[in-house]
Structure 1
Amino acid sequence: MIGLVACGHTLGGVTAVDFPTINTGSGIAPFDDTRLFDNHIATNYIQGPTIDPLVKGPALTDSDGRIFGSDGNTTMKSFSSSAATFASTCATLIGRMIDTVPSGVTLRDPVVPISFKPRDYLLSVTPAGILNLQVTADIFGPSVINNDRVVTLHWADRQSTTCASGACSASPVSTTSKTTLRNGNTLQSYTFSVNASATASFSSFWFTVDEVGNGANVTTQNNGGGNYPVDDLIANVPAYSCGILSGTDIARITTAVRTDGATQASDVSVEAMLQNRVSMTADLTTVSASPGTAPFVSPIPQYTFYTALIPGDTNLFCQYLNYEFSATFAGITHTGPLLEGACSIRAIKIQVACSAT
């Protein structure tokens, strides 16, 4: 019981709206002094000062305090003195709850992870009118770290299944490795960033993997033969998307919409979720986007920049924005990837004065 409560209360807190007699303030009264799954629930309790409202709160029950002290604080002292003991105990207890199934239930075979998987695909338009495609390819499994491996990105023009210029391939701009994953697995990631003109653009991409680097053992990763599609009718504009720290709007999101085709876009919008990490609330809103005005205008005729202002209270702190943009062409809605924040090509969280106010 002590372990279950401590493991459960290393995260979260008591909400004032639900338990006003315990949390007499506002928002959430946290159980410990970090937002991590760590042993601070124990170190705060043993070494002090504890901020757990269920140990020293205004309510008379002090349920955490009574449970933690029920064995003379022996368990909590062991958690406080060893983060590893706390982690292993929590893994065992939580694992027992997750792994317990009713008798008679037949479990299927374990899910086998995908060994090669692209992620973080993002198409952007720069202020200079260049299309930028970013994507990371993960190779996952036991003992996959191979510094001799050569992974190459290939892509096709928007009007073809091949590359008209004959030069549509690139090496990664960075490679990272992780060797300490659970279950004996490892991960090697290859990140690519390539440019094209708006006229050439992209229609799809795929990869070749040379395991020994000499061309003798090359395989193609092409999504089962169909390649990985690129939708260039909408794109992100990171240079013109950013957080706003004043007024009634918390962010400006700019989207590039393709306008050189026979069918023009309608219903260009941004769906945004603004999270408050203190009150643990989230507001979901859809904002219509309109053609941008200077300086938020497209430098190329193939695209029109659309801008949407995301409403929010800039006086609050610890706010994070997730959003995705969409546009409708001939009755079909095209949606971009789910992004976090703005101000960057990659997924960067907008953090509004998260230290204090």
Structure 2
Amino acid sequence: MRFLLFLPFLLRVQISVAIVPFYPWFSPLWQYEESLYIGPYFNTAKLNRTDTGSAIAAEWVRVAYHDMANADVEAGAGGIDMSIAFELDRPENPGQGLKDALNDFRTIYNPTVNMADSIALGVVFGLVAAGGPLIPFRGGRIEARSAGPFGVPQPQESLKSHTDAFRRQGFNTTEMIQLVACGHSLGGVRNPDFANMVPEDGAHKFFDSTQATFDNNVVTGYLDSATENPLVVTQNVTFRSDLRIFNSDGNKTMEALADADAFASTCATVMEKMINTVPSGVTLTEPIEPAQFTVARMFITALVANQTQISVTTRWLNPSSNNKTVSDQPVEPASNAPSILATSNPYRFHKFVFNISSTVVPDKFWFEVEDSAVGDEPFIGDNGGQGFTRAECVASSSVFLVSMSLIPCFSSNLDVFLDTSKTIEATTDDSLVFVVAVRKSNRPSKISVEYVDISADAAPDFNPKVNTEDFSPDPSIGPTFEYEFWSAPVSFLFSTYTLTVVRDGQSIVLDKDQLISDRVNII
């Protein structure tokens, strides 16, 4: 690896895989790939909460269907668009599980992987983490800002009503049976939501005996007449919607789903169709595949003696067992995201750390990769010809010198570091302090942070609120080296953010794409 103009430093890594596909570093495509296969938030089916009732995966699948269910594909309206957030007071959308699922996704909101995309990702992660198939994921959904029409089928409705509703959503009769069977592989029915089917106070009846595992027991139990699925055997015949749907073609489709492999393959197809149902005018990306090689993150540390430490971590897909890395840092653990584990191609991370003079401004860097699979010539990992660059590391003479004039001292996971003896933590009023280090010789006139507040009070419809705070010099933090420190309070619960820096009447905005994952320590 070497930094153009200033750093004649070369990194060589020997691997044994072809270097495809490519997603530009910190582009929306890169963020989709990072969210899908590294899973910083979608890393387990239980996410960051516990649930004593239905499997979390079942709640994620249910909220996706209820969000999609008012779609009219012929009219090009509705689909996975997060309109469900405005429809939770309707009788067709009962249950705390829908709200719990939206709260899961609300806490990771950002403009790229927004609530609508998160609902789709929830299906992908929920199924694969429960042992089901890995569904191809496409990004690019757009959030609705108001409720859509009524349209979620209810269990007391007739077979014709259900068939008409699924046809409006774009599913024929066979696909209706398949989607219901696949969706009801997980979870069940709760008493608070459907007391007509589950009369016992607080009780929960599952669709099959393996409610937290994605399998075809919901099918085989039905065909063997051994099922306890309340939508098949409830005493209130009016609510036996699964029985009416499953038997609507004389059990032909259900018998085809009795084969476990056929069930998994079919469910992948119909679930993918469900999450890709979007309003007309919305163009989704191509399916996001795991990148063979990318930079995972970059940290900058200002040291004493006019030195700057640069730490770059690279990410490799399914590296050779005998790969050789020129690095003085140990290999970090592979990603345990269920989506990447399902591909049998684990990621490995390699970190490289070195120092440069603080007067040097790195322009960009790249990698030369020795790879026997792609020929004798080294592969050049240069971010599609652009090199790997970061806004705060690039000299921008048309505006002002950004590099080392403003250094963010916080990271996306709410860690805020200054040095080993000064750590900015949460305050007593559930807020955090953002700190930036400003070079004293190149001080801006104003710095502000605009951030998305995702606390429940700020998001009554699960729509985050945008707040702005100005930075000011912080007398509690003494100057260090060539820097002074400015701080600004933000809500404890936030996701995406931008920094705006004003100097000499000119402004530059550093957005989340340019800041996320960078932690800067001043020691």
Query: Given the two structures, how large is their TM-score scaled by the length of structure 1?
Result: 0.57
2:59, 2:97 within 8 Å by CA — same for their partners in 1? no
Aligned twin of 1:9: 62
Q: Shift in Å at residue 175 of structure 1?
A: 4.3
Q: Greater CA deviation, 224-233 or 5-14?
A: 5-14
The 3-state SS of whatever aligns with 1:70 is helix
Residue 272 (1) aligns with residue 451 (2): yes
* Letter in structure 1 aligned against 2:358: T
For 1:257, the equivalent position in structure 2 comes to 438
Q: Structure 1's 281 and 69: CA in aligned 2 closer, same or farther, altered over 3 A?
A: farther
Aligned-partner residue type, residue 389 of structure 2: P
Alpha-carbon distance between aligned partners in 2 of 1:132 and 1:72, rounded to the nearest angstrom: 63
Counterpart amino acid of 1:210? E
Which secondary structure does the structure 2 equivalent of 1:174 belong to?
Answer: coil
How far 1:307 moved relative to its partner?
0.7
Deviation at 1:310, TM superposition (A): 1.0
Counterpart in 2 of 1:305? 485
Percent same amino acid at aligned positions?
A: 16
Counterpart in 1 of 2:295?
118
Deviations 1:12-71 (A, max 9, x none): 98979644364999xx821498766257965542xx6466569879xxxx9x96544534
Shift in Å, 1:220: 3.8
Would you say 1:235 and 2:417 are equivalent positions? no
Q: What is aligned with 1:194?
A: 353
Amino acid at match of 1:147: S
Give yes or no for contact 1:252–1:308 (8 Å, CA) kept in 2. yes
Distance 1:338 1:260, change over 3 A: same
Alignment partners' CA distance in 2, 1:326 and 1:234: 10
State how many pairs are aligned: 290
Whether the 8 Å contact between 1:255 and 1:307 is mirrored in structure 2 is yes
SS at match of 2:269: helix
| Counterpart amino acid of residue 96 in structure 2 | A
- Between 1:9-18 and 1:275-284, the stretch displaced more is 9-18
Q: Which segment is superposed worse, 224-233 or 251-260?
A: 224-233
Native 8 Å contact 2:328 2:353 kept in 1? no
| Match runs of 1:43-62 below 5 Å | 43-45=186-188, 49=190, 52=193
Question: SS at 2:417's partner residue?
Answer: helix
Whether contact under 8 Å (1:7, 1:90) holds in the other structure is no
Give the structure with the higher percent helix. Answer: 2
**Paired residue type of 2:370:** D
8 Å contact from structure 1 (residues 130, 195) kept in 2: no
Partner residue of 1:207 out of 367, 380, 398:
367
Report SS of the residue matched to 1:148: coil
The letter for the 2-side match of 1:239 is F
Letter in structure 2 aligned against 1:20:
D
Q: State the one-letter code of the partner of 2:319.
A: I
Q: Name the CA distance, whole Å, in 2 between partners of 1:269 and 1:236.
A: 12
Aligned twin of 2:465: 283
SS in 1 for 2:321: coil
* Structure-to-structure mapping, 1:68-147, within 5 angstroms: 68-71=242-245, 88-96=265-273, 115-125=292-302, 131-140=308-317, 144-147=318-321
Distance 1:135 1:124 in 2: 12
Q: Is the Cα contact below 8 Å between 1:125 and 1:235 reproduced in 2? A: no
Select the structure that is richer in strand: 1
Q: Distance in 1 between matches of 2:329 and 2:287?
A: 32
Q: Distance in 2 between matches of 1:86 and 1:243?
A: 49
Give the superposed CA RMSD: 5.5
Aligned to 1:163: none
Aligned to 1:328: 502
Distance 2:425 2:195 in 1: 37
Structure 1 stretches of 5 or more lacking a match?
A: 102-107, 153-169, 313-318, 347-357
CA distance in 2, matches of 1:193, 1:43: 44
- Cα distance in 2 between the residues matched to 1:83 and 1:253: 52
Distance change in 2, residues 1:228/1:266 (3 Å): farther
What secondary structure, in the 3-state scheme, does the structure 2 residue paired with 1:186 have?
A: coil
State the match for 2:97 in structure 1: 30
C-alpha contact (below 8 Å) 2:316/2:347 kept by paired residues: yes
CA offsets 1:109-140 (integer angstroms, 9 cap, x no match): 98887643223334355899974534332344
Task: Give me the whole-angstrom Cα distance separating, in 2, the residues matched to 1:289 and 1:332.
Answer: 15
Summarize the Cα distance change of 1:306–1:23 in structure 2 as closer, same or farther, 3 Å threshold. Answer: farther
- Distance in 2 of aligned mates of 1:250 and 1:82: 53
Distance 1:55 1:198 in 2: 72
Going from structure 1 to structure 2, the CA distance change for 1:292 and 1:239 (only over 3 Å counts) comes to: same
State the partner residue of 1:355: none
Which residue identity is paired with 1:252? V
**Partners of 1:56 and 1:126 in 2: CA distance:** 66
Q: Is the 8 A contact 2:452 2:496 kept in 1?
A: yes
| CA displacement 1:213-246 (0-9 Å, x = unmatched) | xxx8644433466642351332232315755253
Q: 1:173/1:42 Cα in 2 relative to 1: closer, same or farther (>3 Å)?
A: same
Aligned to 1:20: 89
Q: Which amino acid aligns with 2:502?
A: T
Q: Distance in 2 between matches of 1:72 and 1:223?
A: 50
1:284 Cα deviation after fit: 1.5
Q: C-alpha displacement at 1:260, in angstroms? A: 3.0
SS where residue 490 of structure 2 aligns?
strand
Per-residue CA deviations over 1:132-182 (Å, capped at 9, x if unaligned) read: 534332344xxx521333455xxxxxxxxxxxxxxxxx5554245579749
The 3-state SS of whatever aligns with 1:305 is strand
Give the deviation of 1:265 after TM superposition.
1.8
Q: Structure 1 pair 52/311, CA: closer, same or farther in 2 (3 Å)? A: same
Secondary structure at 1:20 match in 2? coil
Aligned partner of residue 246 in structure 1, secondary structure? coil
**1:254 CA displacement:** 0.8
Any gaps of 5 or more consecutive residues in structure 2?
A: 1-57, 68-83, 105-121, 131-182, 199-235, 279-284, 394-402, 410-415
User: CA, structure 1 residues 276+96, in 2 after alignment: closer, same or farther (shift >3 Å)?
Assistant: same
Deviates more, 1:197-206 or 1:230-239: 197-206
CA distance in 2, matches of 1:23, 1:127: 63
1:7 and 1:190 map into 2 onto residues whose CA distance is 30
- Hey, what's the Cα distance between the residues in 2 that align with 1:6 and 1:121? 36
In the alignment, what sits opposite 2:4?
none
